[in-house]
């Protein structure tokens, strides 16, 4: 049975953050020591990010709310709302993005409409509410009352790949299944001023966005651009459990993102690809001879940061062109956690990828966990 990812769509909130301007705001916060100020300047300047998006309208140049919660533009001070206030804004803002991305994916899939959707899989690690986003999508899009709903929560940046794997498994169990997968991450809700290096790095990278797609065994229409989902693999590295983590604090969710992460990925990425390539002798040989970049034409690497992409490019001997989708996504949108790899895949589909060419997708998250997928372009 052939199961394909179709109608891949992305959505971002309207408020745009310009990286140098955000750097200057963070650098001007009271209470920072000299080391923190130096780390802020370096982290923002070497991030390879130009713009990001946020649901926090107060961060807009034109916003002057009477009672600011996150940012007082008149004083230039970043405020410190509690986790409750941050999560309440998540509940307010996330639903619209879930619904918009889900609707866009359905509209972009020829021959599929809302009445055909049998399952929903939602993904997020940046907020919680119940009834949750899966329920809100079903209600707002008018899906069947019996639609099956699943939510993958708090897994981190790699979670969209397990969501696609689950969607494929649902389709393999039921050939008539039409699975709507939607990832929404509002990472900027948890950014704050701090002297802690991990918090500073997170503030220089993370952003908000949504991605969605239809996964189904219903064949694509002639000429439709889609991705056949061939295989998936997961790998937990033997070290690194404490180097990437996501915890709930009193003033939002707290990211641990140590400077050891790029080196850990560099050390273990080849081993993480071995189970993905194991069923294809040509791919195994390519991996063993540093020719993976020639065996697989396109690489959808989660751009967790510029240094991570640099390590992946060097270790797998990829060409600069093969990293363009990931680097462009990082430049224009920042790191949107689990939604980001969907943006990279969209970039590949919107580019010059030809029918029959292979795509390897990889994303990294807490654990340290590496999730990967092998796909084939159709259409």
pLDDT attached to residue 63? 73
pLDDT attached to residue 257? 79
Residue 81 CA to residue 58 CA, distance in Å, equals: 13
Identify the CA nearest to 190 among candidates 16, 337, 371. Answer: 337
Query: Residue 34's pLDDT band (boundaries 50, 70, 90)?
Result: very high
- Helices 324-333 and 306-315 cross at an angle (nearest 10°) of 180
Whether residue 127 has pLDDT greater than 90: yes
**pLDDT by residue (tens digit) across 288-321?**
888 888 999 999 999 999 999 999 999 999 999 9
Residue 206 CA to residue 189 CA, distance in Å, equals: 10
Query: Residue 245's pLDDT band (boundaries 50, 70, 90)?
Result: confident
**pLDDT by residue (tens digit) across 337-353?**
999 999 999 999 999 99
State the chain's mean pLDDT as an integer.
95
pLDDT attached to residue 306? 95
Whether residue 18 has pLDDT greater than 80: yes
61 three-class SS: coil
Query: Residue 20's pLDDT band (boundaries 50, 70, 90)?
Result: very high
Q: Which CATH architecture has domain 226-378?
A: 3-Layer(aba) Sandwich (3.40)
Residue 18 CA to residue 28 CA, distance in Å, equals: 16
Whether residue 259 has pLDDT greater than 90: no
**pLDDT by residue (tens digit) across 142-165?**
999 999 999 999 999 999 999 999
1 three-class SS: coil
Section 193-201 average pLDDT? 93
Residue 53 CA to residue 191 CA, distance in Å, equals: 13
Q: Is the pTM of this model over 0.95?
A: yes
Residues serving a catalytic function are: 157
More confident residue, 129 or 245: 129
Residue reference for tokens 């713009």: 51
311 within 8 A of 364, measured Cβ to Cβ: no
Where helices occur in the chain by DSSP H, the ranges are 19-27, 34-45, 83-107, 133-140, 160-173, 197-205, 261-277, 281-288, 292-295, 306-315, 324-333, 340-350
pLDDT attached to residue 256? 80
Phi/psi at 372 (nearest 5 deg)?
-140, 160
Query: Residue 186's pLDDT band (boundaries 50, 70, 90)?
Result: very high
Distances (CA, A) of 192 to 18, 85, 196, 201: 17, 13, 10, 11
Section 1-25 average pLDDT? 97
Whether residue 335 has pLDDT greater than 90: yes
Section 60-78 average pLDDT? 86
Q: Exposed e or buried b for every residue in 334-360, given b needs 16+ CB within 10 A? A: bbbbbbbbbbbbbbbbeeebeeeebbb
**pLDDT by residue (tens digit) across 71-119?**
998 899 999 999 999 999 999 999 999 999 999 999 999 999 999 999 9
Residue 208 CA to residue 90 CA, distance in Å, equals: 11
C-alpha angle with apex 157: 286 to 102, nearest 5 degrees? Answer: 105
Instruction: Delimit the domains of the chain by residue range.
Output: 226-378
Section 47-63 average pLDDT? 92
Query: Residue 379's pLDDT band (boundaries 50, 70, 90)?
Result: confident
Query: Residue 194's pLDDT band (boundaries 50, 70, 90)?
Result: very high
Whether residue 64 has pLDDT greater than 80: no
pLDDT attached to residue 350? 96
């Amino acid at each position: 049975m052939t199961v394909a990812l179709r109608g891949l769509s992305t959505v971002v909130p309207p408020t745009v953050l310009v990286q140098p301007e955000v750097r200057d705001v963070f650098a001007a916060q009271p209470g920072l020591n000299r080391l923190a100020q130096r780390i802020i300047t370096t982290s923002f300047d070497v991030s390879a990010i130009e713009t990001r998006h946020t649901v926090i309208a107060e961060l807009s140049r034109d916003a002057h709310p009477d009672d600011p919660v996150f940012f007082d533009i008149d004083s230039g001070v970043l405020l410190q709302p509690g986790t409750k206030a941050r999560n309440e804004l998540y509940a307010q803002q996330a639903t619209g993005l879930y619904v918009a991305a889900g609707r866009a994916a359905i509209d972009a899939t020829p021959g599929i409409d809302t009445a055909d959707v049998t399952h929903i899989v939602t993904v997020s690690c940046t907020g919680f509410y119940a009834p949750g986003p899966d329920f809100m999508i079903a209600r707002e899009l008018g899906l069947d009352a019996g639609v099956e709903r699943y939510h993958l929560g708090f897994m981190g940046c790699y979670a969209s790949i397990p969501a696609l794997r689950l969607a494929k498994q649902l389709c393999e169990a039921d050939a008539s299944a039409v699975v709507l997968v939607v990832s929404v991450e509002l990472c900027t809700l948890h950014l704050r001023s701090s002297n802690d290096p991990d918090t500073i790095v997170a503030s220089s990278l993370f952003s908000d966005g949504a991605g969605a797609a239809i996964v189904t065994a219903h064949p694509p229409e002639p000429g439709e651009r889609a991705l056949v989902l061939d295989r998936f693999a997961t790998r937990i590295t033997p070290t690194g459990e404490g180097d990437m983590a996501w915890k709930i604090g009193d003033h939002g969710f707290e990211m641990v993102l140590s400077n050891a992460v790029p080196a850990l990925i560099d050390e273990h990425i080849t081993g993480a690809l071995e189970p993905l390539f194991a069923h294809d002798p040509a791919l195994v040989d390519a991996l063993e001879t540093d020719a993976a970049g020639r065996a697989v034409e396109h690489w959808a690497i989660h751009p967790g940061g510029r240094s991570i992409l640099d390590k992946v490019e060097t270790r797998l001997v990829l060409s600069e062109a093969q990293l363009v989708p990931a680097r462009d996504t990082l430049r224009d949108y920042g790191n949107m956690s689990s939604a980001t790899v969907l943006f990279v895949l969209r970039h590949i589909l919107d580019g010059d990828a030809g029918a029959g060419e292979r795509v390897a997708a990889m994303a990294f998250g807490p654990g340290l966990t590496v999730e990967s997928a092998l796909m084939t372009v159709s259409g």
